[in-house]
Copies of this chain bind each other. A is one copy, B any other.
Amino acid sequence: MDKPADALQRLRRVHEDAAVAVLRSAGALSRAELTQRTGLSRTTLFSIISELMERDAVVEVEAPPAEPRGRGRPAALIALNPSAGLLIGLDVGRRRVRLAIANVAHEIIATGMADIPAGADAPAQAEAAVRLVRRVGEEHGIRLGALEAIGLGLVGIVDDPSLPASTVPAQHAPVARRLAEEFGVRVAVDNNARLAALAESTWGAARSVGDLVYVRWSVGVGGGFVVGGRLLRGAHGAAGEIGHVSLDPEGPPCHCGGRGCLERRIGSQALLEVCAARGIALTGLDSLVAAAQDRVPGVCEVISEAAADLGRILADTVVQLDPERVVVGGEFASLGSLVLDPIRQAIDGLALPKIGRRIGVTPADLGVNASAMGAIAFLLNEEPAIPGHLRP
């Protein structure tokens, strides 16, 4: 049950959201017009407007002279602050940083990429991220002073994305802290595979799908679940780690401390080893995928067997979460039916076949920028309507 204090606090927040939503759709309005359109009392509305003005979320603009207003100075209009609300999404991976920038209307206005030297430590990653933001900002003439917040996707377990940058877990602290210092805004951190899931459900292959299972199959195997339109984060920031479901509790040890993990069986390194054992020498993920695209004998078998293993695990996920759709991302997803068919077959055969639901299995849509875009969606989801709420 709501306590009255909770209900009133929520009420305040919804009042703010409503005022901002009306301004977003109607443009500049007088206080009187806003009072009428929101149904709020003058007192309540005026107090909300002054708080939004303090946070630079809205500004006063002059009423156009065309409208006669009678005597005295024309009533000022309230409008969303056009130079507020810039959001940045960064995806710091093992080999690359990727960037997306969104404006106040939540349109992606720029993207970019930079390589990270192999084995770079966190400060070096942070440096690469800062340089990328500065460069892309300059190239597109973007005023970074209007930046509201940064969403940051990272590899691995991200403990608590709601923590301020100064207290994020040790391994992430240098990147998050450096960005927060450099740009003077809040940095919200989450796992980059989860952020890709969120992006696909916001703008991509699962747009308007409320319940999504997303898996990214690449060097490693990551994932993310969207449930009722919200990203499932878990109690310790570890939800979605499909790659560490065990195919065999007696199997080989994994770096996570478990045994027989899916990632250990179908990650690109494992598949390269299987190919090598079968006499097919390939140099890395890209050549493996290229060989499969060229239908090199033996390679397709290795990948479709791996897809069947992935399908078996995804079938278990589907049994438990009952999603509307399964989206497969990462480099292997580009192989189409070679990968998707064994997954579909496993789900159709094992995931409660008799109840007769159809779970769509589709490739991801957003390509390499998915996680950077997801980092922006993450900021928007946390704070749906109000610029200024995102301030540190």
Contacts and interface: CB of A to CB of B under 8 A. Distances in A.
Nearest to A225: B320
B1 A321 contact: no
A238 to B, nearest CB: 4
A322 interface: yes
Which of A18, A225, A353, A380 counts the most B-chain CB atoms under 10 A from its CB?
A: A18
A10 interface: yes
A145 interface: no
A233 B4 CA distance: 28
A234 B352 contact: no
A344 interface: no
A323 to B, nearest CB: 6
Contacts of A40: 39-41, 44
Interface stretch (A64-72, A241-249, A276-284, A296-304): A241-249
A289 to B, nearest CB: 26
A235 interface: yes
A43 to B, nearest CB: 7
B238 A355 contact: yes
A357 to B, nearest CB: 5
Contacts of A210: 235
Contact of A228 (B8, B230, B321): B230
A223 B322 CA distance: 13
Given A316-B246, A355-B157, A4 B22 contact: yes
A98 to B, nearest CB: 23
A352 B257 contact: yes
B236 A355 contact: yes
A234 B321 contact: yes
Contacts of A323: 234-235
A331 interface: no
Interface string A287-321: 00000000000000000000000001101110111
Nearest to A308: B249
A4 B385 CA distance: 11
Interface in A15-32: 15, 17-18, 21-22, 24-26
Q: Which of A25, A157, A225, A257 has the most CB of B within 10 A?
A: A257
Contacts of A346: 249
B15 A245 contact: no
Contacts of A355: 157, 236, 238, 256
Interface string A31-51: 000010011111110000000
Contact of A1 (B38, B106, B240, B353): B106
A259 interface: yes
Nearest to A346: B249
A7 to B, nearest CB: 4
A23 B3 CA distance: 11
Interface string A203-224: 0000000110000000000010
B44 A21 contact: no
A232 interface: yes
A120 to B, nearest CB: 23
A10 B14 CA distance: 8
Contact of A239 (B7, B10, B42, B322): B322
19 contacts: A1-B24, A2-B385, A4-B26, A7-B14, A10-B18, A11-B17, A12-B39, A40-B41, A41-B41, A41-B44, A232-B321, A234-B322, A239-B321, A239-B322, A241-B320, A245-B320, A258-B351, A259-B350, A320-B320
A69 to B, nearest CB: 24
A324 interface: yes
A82 interface: no
A354 interface: yes
